[in-house]
Chains A and B, each alone.
Chain A
Amino acid sequence: MTPFNAIIRRDIRLAIAAGGDLLTLLLFFILVGALMPFAVGPDKALLARIAPGITWVAALLALLLALDRLFKTDAEDGSLRAFRNAAVSMETIVIAKLVAFWLSVMLPLLVAVPVHALLLGMNLETLARMMLALLAGSPGLLALGAIGAAVTVSLRRGGLIAPVLILPLAVPILIFGIGAVAPPPAPGADRAAMLFLTAISLVLVAIAPFAAGLALRMSED
């Protein structure tokens, strides 16, 4: 097995072994959605209108909660240090870890979106757009998150500071992510938003392995 696949396989095995964490995360994601009717009142029309925003924010918060695990456990048990002498570069390792993280955290969140649709009264078309937008935007969010997690990996309080660093940078993804779902204010705006979302996501995914790899190398001494 190639080193790349070995990392994906190990991280997915670890995620399955710690399956309770994933269930907790999904519960959190759904709870954020379920709390909204209590926060703004059970007005169905209003809820349906703000549902995409709620789902995006819930996904972002769930990601931030889960991100602490991305590099931290490897740093704590010395694996990260041993990665430096692996047969592949740190950048490759970061990409593999991101693929594994996306499959084991973001994909389950995506699957849970229909629960939000049900609770918040999204229609089928909105649900489909929502899932498509999350599919396009979540790699970008994860890429940003990975940079934040890598930069704070050597901090004991990193779990608190990483979200503060990531959230402002996530604004474009949120804007276009919602623009791609919400009813367009101008004709074609939703398609444009979807394209921008995909483009930003791709650029972030291209940058993240280098930025995170560099940060991880600099954190380990």
Chain B
Amino acid sequence: MQDEIALGNFSNDGAETGHAAKVQTCSEAKLAFEELFERYHPMVFQLVCRILGDREEALDIAQEVFLTIFRKRDRFRGESSLKTWIYRISINRAANRCRWWNRLRRRGTVSLDAHLGQDRNQTLFETLESEGRSPEDAVLLQERRHQLEQSLLQLPVQQRIAVIMRDVEGLSYEEIAESMQVSLGTIKSRIARAREELKRRLNGALG
């Protein structure tokens, strides 16, 4: 699908190469920004929510991400794709918030139970409806998801981000390496260790 978004100093030209385009007025920039938001906010919100494990925090961080995109739109030089650039901003913001929460937890001021990975949008009924399962299967499925999400939150931040981007978001190793600004070998290592840890924690629950 061709991307046809122009925002500030960059436009999307087929393969998301990010060529520079001059914006004449503030209203044009705002319009382009609106389009960008419409296109990328589901991706940003999902990624950040999976990393943080909290919808409210994800809401806040998603706004921060788009505000950063708006402020720094002049700095996008097109060296990477627009998608990768947005991912990079999202990862940095989410990782910073994780570190902040870790500091609070170490001080004992925040309950660990406050971070729930449950998708509150999906009720049990909807699960049954959409997946055609028996009630027992649906409950079991929900339980597994919850367990998996909790296990994800137990991972170190960098490993968590790598495995989410690979297995949940479906990005390639190269895209992940570019977004996280590390080498390919580091990404391989992080994903392998994350999976190993998840396997150990889930301990046969996956069947």
Q: Do A and B come from one complex?
A: no
- Name B's A-contacting residues (CB within 8 A): none
Residues of A near any B CB (own CB < 8 A): none
